[in-house]
Structure 1
Amino acid sequence: MKKKVLVLIALAVLALGVALLSILAGSSGLTLGEVFASLFGQGTAKTNAIVWNVRLPRIVTAMVVGGALAMSGCVMQSVLRNPLASASTLGVSQGAAFGATAAIILFGAGVQNSASAASAISISNPYLVTLCAFGGGIISTLVVLGLSRVRRISPQSMVLAGVALSSLFTGGTTLLQYFADDVQVAAVVFWTFGDLGRTSWQEIALIAGITLAAGLYFFANRWNYNAMEAGPHTAQSLGVNVGAVMLAGMTVSSLVASTAVSFVGIINFVGLVAPHMVRKFVGNDYRFLLPASMLMGMVILLVSDLAGRLAVAPVILPIGAITSFLGAPLFLYMIFKGVR
């Protein structure tokens, strides 16, 4: 128990340390004293603008979204009893991408700010794109859950259904792009890259509120998830309604993942790799695995964002590409090692 508590404390300290390093990193050359002065309301107008309007929203977004995706992936892996389950492998992220593409192409939500600047692509109606992306992610979830309720498919088959839906949504996204003009295609690519800097404080509060509510629900069911680790029959003998716990867990986790992805774009593999990275330290006890996964998700996304900002500064690399470089090799490693 002491070791697991120390792991949680270490992860929290690491997340805060990387967050502070992210505030300091950049071309403006802020010092540690200037950052702390700004955080406590004593900074100059320039420092306050850099910290509160540029860097801090991005960092808080990384922490909230990373925690949300990691927590949802942890619960998906528990209720489906499949270590490869996550929003990116169950079709939730691809459904969100299809929804955003439909909003940009069919409803004209992507615009070019300057006819002479190919890079000046922006989203004219971000709330419409967010709503459609959220709807696409939820549709994917409803289809998978519908198959589980109507056809009584196994948890392993649910993951395969998610893979099929991913392919379907990817094909639909490609088809929409085929009939779009250059500006619309560029806007779709811009959205799917993933960007932690597109959220406002109000949007961050919305994501954080949903994530907090979901986290409280998951933690309230921690003993159910622990019982399900021993198998569905054992869990039922202990009084767990396995079907209800699985349905509710998948619904809430997909809601959290869809919300996060709809605001920041496609960020793959965080929900897959974060739970596995902390399992060797805290085991499968969901009293510790849930908060540890959330903290590790924060660290992964903060480190990925920091790497994307510093690798070829002042150019900011897309966060989705950075997390894929991290997650894809680990995904293959787990397959070859026969992860349990």
Structure 2
Amino acid sequence: MLEQEYKAANKKKYLLLLSTAVIIVVLGLFFTAIGMKQGVMQVLIAVKLYFAGTLEGSPDTNINKIILLLRLPRIALAILAGIGLAVAGVVMQSITRNDLVSPFTLGISSAAAFGASLCIVFGNTLFFQSEAGIVTCAFIACLLCVAVIYTVAQKLGITPTAIVLVGIALNYFFSALTATVEFFAKEHKLEDVVQWTFGTFNRASWEHVAFTGGVVIVCFLLLQRYGLELDVLASNDDDMAKSLGIQPGRLRTKIGITAVLITAAIISFTGVIGFVGLIAPHMARILIGNEHKFLIPFSGLLGALLLLLADTFGKYILYPVSIPVGIVISFLGVPLFIHLILSGGKKGLE
């Protein structure tokens, strides 16, 4: 009887995962086709012409190029960014046993902002004045941040409290460094720094999608392997985990570094996008439960859905002005998060 109930519950969860994925694909196509005369059919035609190698000879060449080179990469990057940030958030909450933790709590976003602003303001060579230079500096700063966190945490003992406290301290430290760089920046460079820290998909390209997608997929598969260990670590103390043959310190290091790599790969291209890694896991827990086998992928799907909706909302609410997704997700996320707490999500914070 219990086995049948368990299988039935799992079947519902798989159905929820599948239906959410289908909704994301449908919305992605619909948002790509907004303003097109033939709607979604125009998107499908553009993709078909591209793979057939006849794109240049088509009657709507310019429209098809807009779809393939501007809109589709933006949609794809929004989906990948949502998946990556939400997955990183849920595993960080599990290894720290703190539902208020996200990758950004550990100072990763502040570190990326510092690396990018340093490159924008003081970069003199051709490389450091390019987008590749900015992305590289932001990524290196993220890795530096996590290296400091785990070096200090190793000396204190890799405990959830140590990781969170060191991360919060670094968050303030890198924010202060970024503010210092901005203080010395010239006006035109200061504007570039501010634009980068907003978080946006305006710079999306297929190269960004390929790199980000590769990192997200590999790291997701790696994290999914540790589902059972994360179930134990999230719901029990370290002594219980050790009695079951799990090494909490080593597991936190592996999971933490993987989560940081996902976050760094995303925000290096998009700029700072917060809140997704915090709110998507909470929504997923309420809807699908705490089993990481389902919680990790469902958190990713909800993160993708949130960023897809937020980016489209920001593009068209004040058209032709495009509001950066980092701003929109905060405006949408804060009341939604408060609503979740008031309607039952409070259990996840206790």
TM-score using structure 1 length: 0.90
Counterpart Cα distance in 1 of 2:117 and 2:307? 24
CA contact (8 A) 1:7 1:281 kept: no
1:34 corresponds to 2:42: yes
1:65 corresponds to 2:81: yes
Structure 1 position 39, deviation (Å): 2.4
Amino acid at match of 1:321: I
**Aligned residue in 2 for 1:261:** 267
**Aligned residue in 2 for 1:203:** 208
**Aligned residue in 1 for 2:104:** 88
Amino acid at match of 1:8: L
Structure 1 position 156, deviation (Å): 3.0
For each residue in 1:285-306, what CA deviation from the matched residue of structure 2 results, as whole angstroms up to 9, or x when unmatched?
Answer: 1111111011111101100011
Gaps of 5+ in 2: 1-9, 51-57
CA contact (8 A) 1:103 1:129 kept: yes
Counterpart Cα distance in 2 of 1:327 and 1:165? 24
1:225 corresponds to 2:230: yes
Structure 1 position 195, deviation (Å): 1.8
1:176 to 1:263, Cα distance in 2 relative to 1, 3 A: same
Greater displacement, 296-305 / 192-201: 192-201
SS of the equivalent of 1:89 reads helix
1:334 to 1:157, Cα distance in 2 relative to 1, 3 A: farther
SS of the equivalent of 1:41 reads helix
**Aligned residue in 2 for 1:293:** 299
Counterpart Cα distance in 1 of 2:339 and 2:153? 29
Kindly indicate which of the two structures has a greater share of residues assigned to helix.
2
1:193 corresponds to 2:193: no
Structure 1 position 272, deviation (Å): 1.0
Structure 1 position 242, deviation (Å): 1.1
**Aligned residue in 2 for 1:49:** 65
CA contact (8 A) 2:94 2:230 kept: yes
Greater displacement, 145-154 / 274-283: 145-154
Counterpart Cα distance in 1 of 2:247 and 2:188? 50
Of 27, 33, 45, 1:18 maps to: 27
Gaps of 5+ in 1: 111-122
TM-score using structure 2 length: 0.88
Amino acid at match of 1:99: G
CA contact (8 A) 1:84 1:272 kept: yes
Segments of 4+ in structure 1 off by > 6 A? Answer: 333-336
CA contact (8 A) 2:32 2:72 kept: yes
**Aligned residue in 1 for 2:181:** 176
For each residue in 1:56-87, what CA deviation from the matched residue of structure 2 results, as whole angstroms up to 9, or x when unmatched?
Answer: 01000101111111111111111111111112
CA contact (8 A) 1:35 1:47 kept: no
For each residue in 1:170-223, what CA deviation from the matched residue of structure 2 results, as whole angstroms up to 9, or x when unmatched?
Answer: 111111111111011011011112121213212211111111110111011111
Amino acid at match of 2:120: I
Amino acid at match of 2:328: I
**Aligned residue in 1 for 2:4:** none
Counterpart Cα distance in 2 of 1:237 and 1:49? 58
1:312 corresponds to 2:323: no
CA contact (8 A) 1:109 1:126 kept: no
Counterpart Cα distance in 1 of 2:37 and 2:69? 16
**Aligned residue in 2 for 1:152:** 157
Amino acid at match of 2:106: L
Amino acid at match of 2:181: L
Counterpart Cα distance in 1 of 2:267 and 2:336? 21
Greater displacement, 46-55 / 29-38: 29-38
1:334 to 1:32, Cα distance in 2 relative to 1, 3 A: closer
**Percent identity at matched positions?**
34
For each residue in 1:297-328, what CA deviation from the matched residue of structure 2 results, as whole angstroms up to 9, or x when unmatched?
Answer: 11011000110011011111111101111233
Greater displacement, 40-49 / 127-136: 40-49
Counterpart Cα distance in 1 of 2:166 and 2:234? 22
For each residue in 1:252-302, what CA deviation from the matched residue of structure 2 results, as whole angstroms up to 9, or x when unmatched?
Answer: 100110110011100001111111111112111111111101111110110
Amino acid at match of 1:35: V
Counterpart Cα distance in 2 of 1:241 and 1:323? 36
Aligned-pair RMSD on alpha carbons?
A: 2.0
**Aligned residue in 2 for 1:115:** none
Number of aligned residues: 327
**Aligned residue in 2 for 1:117:** none
SS of the equivalent of 2:322 reads coil
Structure 1 position 332, deviation (Å): 5.6
1:76 corresponds to 2:92: yes
Amino acid at match of 1:94: S
